Amino acid sequence: MANLNGKIALVTGASSGIGAATAVKLAEAGAKVGIAARRTEKLEDLKQRIEAKGGEALVIEMDVVDPSAIETGVKKLVETYGSIDILVNNAGLMPLSDIDQFKVDEWHRMVDVNVKGVLNTTAAVLPQMIKQHSGHIFNMSSIAGRKVFKGLSVYCATKHAVTAFSDGLRMEVGQKHNIRVTCIQPGAVATELYDHITDPGYRKQMDELASQMTFLQGEDIGDTIVFAAQAPAHVDVAELFVLPVEQGW
C-alpha cells in the first residue's frame, strides 16, 4: 500500500459527516488536508481535532456553487503546501420530496451543489494535477447513483450524473495524465444530509429506516477512501459500493 505521508488533500463539504471524518482519516494516514466548506467555525473545530492527533489541516472557506471561491481556495492550498494530490468531491444535499410537491428551489439547489459543485471543483483542481502528472480524484456518488428511489428522483438524477462523470473523467485523464478517479457509492450513512429534508412524511420515513438498521458512519467511508488512496500507483479502484449489512438490495 502507498504511503500518504506528504500528500496534499482537499476535501469539500468537510464541516460535518463524511467530509469531516474523511479529513481526519486522511490526516491520520499522513496527508496534509485542506478542509473546505461554508461553515468556517465548524472547520476550525475540525482543524483542532486533526492537530490534536498530530495532523495538519488548512481551513478553506468555500462554497462549491461559487467558482471564484473555489479558485481562491485551491490557490490558497497550493500556495501553502505546493500541490494537490487528492481531491474528495464530497459536498452534497439530499432533501427528499415527491415531484408533485414542486419544491423546485430544492431541485435546483441539488443540481447546483451535487453536480455543478463537482464540476466546478474538479475544473479548479485538475490543471494542478495535470501539471504534476499525478493525482487522485474521489467523487461522492451514492446507492442513489445506481438505483432510483421514490422521493429521491432529483437526488438520484444528480448522483447518476456524478457516476457518469466519474467514468468519463477516468477515461479521459487516467492514462493521459496519470490521474486516478474513484467513485464512492455509499448506502445509508448517518450524516446531516437528513437535516435537509423539509417533507415531514419523508423525514419520519428516514427516522424509521434508521431504527431498522445500523447506518454506516462517516468514518466508514473515510476508511474506504484512504484504502483506495493507498492502493499501489498502478491500481485505480474505480468504484466502491459500501452498504450497511442490513441494507443489502
Question: Active-site residue numbers?
Answer: 155
Assign residue 235 a region (left: φ > 0; alpha: ψ between -120 and 50; beta: otherwise).
beta
Report the relative pairing of strands 56-61 and 179-186 from DSSP bridges: unpaired
Cell of 119: 464540476
Beta strand extents in the chain (DSSP E only): 8-12, 32-37, 56-61, 86-89, 135-140, 179-186, 239-242
**Whole-number Å distance between alpha carbons of 249 and 238:** 21
DSSP states of 144-179:
GGTS--TT-HHHHHHHHHHHHHHHHHHHHHHHHHTE
